Amino acid sequence: MSCTIKNPANYDLTELEPHVHGMYDHFASKYGFKKPPVMVFDSDPSNQSKVLGKTAYYDPQSLEIHVFIDGRHPKDVLRSIAHELIHHRQNMEGRLDTGGYSGPGYYLENDELKEVEHEAMLEGNATMREYEDTVKYKNIKENKKMSLKEWKNNELNKQLLKKFGILKENKKPDFLDLDKTVIKKSQWLLLLSQKVKKAKKKKI
């Protein structure tokens, strides 16, 4: 179940949105959210200039994750979303409402809420890193698999060429450069077909 995105800030989400959905899917797959949150991108220019201003918050009633977008690096925005997704998980599991003081400075006053925040800091960053590495290195792994497949195919072709006398040991044929300059496939198949026919005639 995908999450909904609202963009009252009218921020250009062309590059960010695929990662918002991708990262959410990664979190949802890992934590099994009962309901998806709503991602809300907010703008507050007066907040932007504050060194210790707001970055994001989670509303457990509306299931909305509000992210302040002004002047921020996209990866930092994703980091805020990751943190709030853990709060969403805690809310879905009934662990977010710990009771006690929850006003300004609660982190110093409420030990149970402090533990909730510690979990969001740790799990949010760790799970985002999992998503990031999955995206960054997935293509590399796929390319390695493809390279291995190509190597196997090349080795098989070499063995066939040797078997039918087209490829001599320690000698490159005129039509095949093993340094990856290769003739057209149709030419190779024609030569191979001719060798197969000759081999059959000899057997007869």
Instruction: Print pLDDT tens along the chain (204 aa).
Output: 789 999 999 999 999 999 999 999 999 999 999 999 999 999 999 999 899 999 999 999 999 999 999 999 999 999 999 999 999 999 999 999 888 888 888 899 889 999 999 999 999 999 999 999 999 887 676 666 656 667 667 777 777 676 666 665 555 444 444 444 455 556 666 777 776 677 666 655
21 and 122 inside one domain: yes
Q: Let me know how long the chain is.
A: 204
183 lies in the same domain as 109: no
d(CA 154, CA 73): 46
Nearest to 58 by CA among 113, 17, 9, 101: 113
Question: Which of 138, 159, 186 corresponds to the end of one domain?
Answer: 138
Is residue 108 assigned to a domain?
yes
- The C-alpha R_g of the chain, in whole angstroms, comes to 29
Question: What's the number of CA atoms in the CB half-sphere (13 Å) around residue 76?
Answer: 9
Counted domains in the chain: 2
Does 150 fall in a domain? Answer: no
CA distance 96 to 106: 13
**145 domain residue, yes or no:** no
188: domain range? 170-204
